[in-house]
């Protein structure tokens, strides 16, 4: 028979030798991983020692009595504007850079500012709270999440904020400009007027998107918002 097809002779390995070799291999591998994690060799899988670049150095609690959200909406027949109070929130900084936060907006507090007749004003405010609009019984709180910011050279709006807004349980990403001022114990953040499309948050009442043939009775889909915040330094970063 051709030697090419001859089976090689397999030497028997004692069972205890195999177990010893396996134990040695496992121990060596574990020691190598520990060494790599602690020696800065560039191994990226040892996450416990990886520095977190977004750890805040300062935390501020939003003062709800000194902070407001302003809104305005329009239709062919005119426009209305008002405000919404805050339910709470926090802002986080790394040195002087705004890196995170959560702004909670009390939709139950929505008010109109431009209608003089008290009965007409109440009718609008009640309608805004109903299922047609913000459905406050189910969704009493809207939220704005700060995901980060970048400084700009503009003295009026000195940051660009990356964030998300949540209305009626629906969250959308957005980028807005703003101004931030930070002192030892307080911070002031203002986000000038920006617009959202209310239909993105399932607010479809009298929208041309569902009533394309409607002429003068529709309500514009864009709602303008602006945010003014004051924060007080917090003792906790939790």
4 confidence band (pLDDT: 50, 70, 90):
very low
Query: What pLDDT is recorded for position 26?
Result: 44
pLDDT of residue 64 exceeding 60: yes
pLDDT of residue 45 exceeding 50: no
Mean pLDDT calculated for residue range 183-203:
97
Spatial distance between the Cα atoms of 204 and 9, rounded to a whole number of angstroms: 80
Q: What is the CATH number of the domain that holds 187?
A: 2.40.128.110
Q: Any idea which of 38-52, 71-85, 99-113 has the lowest mean pLDDT? A: 38-52
208 and 109, same structural domain? yes
Q: Any idea which of 117-131, 165-179, 213-227 has the lowest mean pLDDT? A: 213-227
pLDDT tens column, 129-167 = 999 999 999 999 999 999 999 999 998 999 999 999 999
Mean pLDDT calculated for residue range 94-105:
96
Higher pLDDT, 229 or 34: 229
Mean pLDDT calculated for residue range 91-109:
97
207 and 138, same structural domain? yes
131 and 191, same structural domain? yes
Mean pLDDT calculated for residue range 203-230:
90
Higher pLDDT, 44 or 74: 74
pLDDT of residue 168 exceeding 80: yes
200 and 120, same structural domain? yes
Query: What pLDDT is recorded for position 101?
Result: 97
- Structure-block tokens of residue 30: 């574990």
23 and 77, same structural domain? no
According to the 3-state scheme, what is the secondary structure of the chain?
A: CCHHHCCCCCCCCCHHHHHHHHHHHHHHHHHHHHHHHHHCCCCCCCHHHCCCCCCCCEEEEECHHHCEEEEEEEECCEEEEEEEEEEEEEEEEECCEEEEEEEEEEHHHCEECCCCCHHHHHHHHHHHHCCCCCCCCCCCEEEEEEEEEEECCCCCCCEEEEEEEEECCEEEEEEEEEEEEECCCEEEEEEEEEEEEHHHHCCCCCCCCCCCCCCCCCCCCEEEEEEEEEEEECCCCC
164 and 200, same structural domain? yes
Query: What pLDDT is recorded for position 237?
Result: 61
48 assigned to some structural domain: no
How far from chain centre, in Å, is Cα 71? 20
133 and 225, same structural domain? yes
Domain count, the chain: 2
Higher pLDDT, 106 or 44: 106
214 confidence band (pLDDT: 50, 70, 90):
confident
3 assigned to some structural domain: no
52 assigned to some structural domain: no
Domain that holds residue 24: 14-39
Spatial distance between the Cα atoms of 180 and 187, rounded to a whole number of angstroms: 7
50 assigned to some structural domain: no
Query: What pLDDT is recorded for position 155?
Result: 86
62 and 28, same structural domain? no
177 assigned to some structural domain: yes
67 and 31, same structural domain? no
135 and 25, same structural domain? no
């Amino acid at each position: 028979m051709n030697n090419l097809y001859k089976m090689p002779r397999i030497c028997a390995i004692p069972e205890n030798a195999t177990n010893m070799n396996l134990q040695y291999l496992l121990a060596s591998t574990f020691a190598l991983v520990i060494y790599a994690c602690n020696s800065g060799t560039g191994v990226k899988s040892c996450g416990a020692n990886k520095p977190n670049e977004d750890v805040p150095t300062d935390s501020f609690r939003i003062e709800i009595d000194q902070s407001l959200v302003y809104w305005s909406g329009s239709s062919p027949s005119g426009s209305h504007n008002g405000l919404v109070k805050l339910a709470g929130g926090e802002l986080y900084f790394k040195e002087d850079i705004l890196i995170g936060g959560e702004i909670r907006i009390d939709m139950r507090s929505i008010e109109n500012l431009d209608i003089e007749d008290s009965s007409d004003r109440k009718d609008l405010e009640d309608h805004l709270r109903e299922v047609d609009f913000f459905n406050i019984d189910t969704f009493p709180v809207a939220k704005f999440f700060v995901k980060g910011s970048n400084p700009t050279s503009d003295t009026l709006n000195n940051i660009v904020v990356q964030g998300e807004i949540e209305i009626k349980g629906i969250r959308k990403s957005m980028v807005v400009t703003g101004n931030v001022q930070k002192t030892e114990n307080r911070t002031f953040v203002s986000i000038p007027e920006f617009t959202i499309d209310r239909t993105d948050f399932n607010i479809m009442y009298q929208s041309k998107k569902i009533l394309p043939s409607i002429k003068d009775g529709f309500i514009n889909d864009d709602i303008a918002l602006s945010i003014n915040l004051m924060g007080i330094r917090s003792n906790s970063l939790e």
